[in-house]
Amino acid sequence: MERSEEDEFRAFVGVRMERWRRAAYLMCHDWHMADDLVGTVVAKLYERWRRVAATDNPDAYAQRVLTTAWIDERRRPWRREQPADVLPDPAWTPPDRTGDREELVRMLARLGRRQRAVVVLRFYFDRSVEETAELLGISAGTVKSQSARALEMLRTLACASGSPQ
Amino acid sequence: MNQEMLDRMIGAAPPSTVDVDEVIGRTRRRQRFRRAATGGVAAAVAAFAVLVAVNLAGRPPRPVPVVQVPAAPSASSGPLIEVDTPAGRARTLARLGTVLEAAVESHAPGTRWIYMPDVPGEKRLPDGHPAMWVTEDPVSFQARSGITGGGRKGGFYLSLRAAGCAAMTSCSPLYECDGTVPVCESTRISSGLTLVHYVDKPGKSRVFYGTDVELRGGKYALRMLAVNYFGGDGAPAVAPVPVLTRDQLDAVAAEVAERFSD
């Protein structure tokens, strides 16, 4: 990769990194794994950057890698998500939004793998039904039904817990 | 539901641990390795000769599994790996399941497939067969299952997917022996296929036996993992070693790969 291409790559990644991390967190509920998934996205993008940059929509490619990486990751025994006896010091004090976050985690954890990916693509990355279907390699009908089921479940859970919808 | 609402619920993110420079460096090294591996046939042959010489001069080499491969399906039965249509993928998955179960029965007699949970709340599948499915990006054929035998149980994973990294799709090149795991050996088995055998012990008493085989033609790679834990995320080790031995895993992988090599 030439210098100018690498600069372009770094700029592309730099402005999207936080958005990818947050989307990954929505799916896996673990910031360490979210960073792993984003690392996978960065590596795959770098490997294919010349081709990706030449496409109409490199964002779509990155989002597809992110969501499919997570769907695959859940089935791999090689992943790093393992229980720890001693939690590392995060050197970071989270703001006092624990209640919201726990609620979000609790609600999303009730959804299946692909449903979470559908929710993230549809409502976080604002992809259309057709785009989501193409990115996940499933039919538009499946996206619609999974979106509807996911929203229904989230609404039910939110109502049950008194959270805003 | 929209992005703003989800962002509000996520709250502030901790500092990123993604080191872009490190990822770029690692990816470059991997690309260099692949180029060297695919372009330097002569070097690979020489390296293999050196490896053999070292093995002969030093410790005795681990025996390469001798695989009795049943007769392959006739050429008139069409391609063994069909990825273009849902029906073709379903046929391939069914064939893979049949071949896998027969190979395990042949090389690991006395073992049995059992349901292995993955995520909480999932529907329980019956024992007796591995769970199998097809994924996209690109098409890959997957299996996961618990397995019992010898008074213990453990996990088993399989994937059959594209070996080469082409045109914006994920891929599964053979495992690279880069010195990061306790055991990693690449060899050519009797049928001429390249087999990479590796063992990893990532801690918490977990033991992974892995075997990758590149199918003839180099288009697809088969990966099998036998692990000594049982279940999904964070499941603890339930036995000192996986149910399948290293030789059994190699033999099963070699047979399945041979049966799926055109």
Q: What are the sequence ranges of the domains in chain A?
A: 3-79, 98-161
Average pLDDT, chain B: 77
Name the DSSP letter for residue B237: B
**CB–CB of B2 and A126 under 8 A?**
yes
Q: Is ipTM > 0.85 here? A: no
Closest alpha carbon within chain B to A49: B168
Chain-centroid distance of CA B132 in Å reads: 14
CATH number of A98-161: 1.10.10.10
Neighbours of A158 (CB within 10 A): 16
Task: Give kind and range of the element (H or E) at residue B162.
Answer: strand B152-162
pLDDT in tens, A11-56: 999 999 999 999 999 888 888 888 989 998 999 899 888 888 887 7
CATH number of A3-79: 1.10.1740
Please state, in angstroms and as integers, the Cα–Cα distance from residue B247 to each residue in B19, B48, B254, following that order.
38, 21, 10
> Pick the residue with more confidence: B190 or A105?
B190
- Residue A26: list chain B partners with CB under 8 A: 6, 10
- Residue A137: list chain B partners with CB under 8 A: 135-137
Place of tokens 């977990």: B206
Please give the single-letter amino acid code of residue B160: L
Residue B100 has pLDDT above 90, yes or no: yes
Q: pLDDT band at B135, cuts 50/70/90?
A: confident
Domains A3-79 and A98-161 alike in fold: no
pLDDT in tens, A75-95: 555 443 333 344 444 444 444
Name the pTM for this structure.
0.49
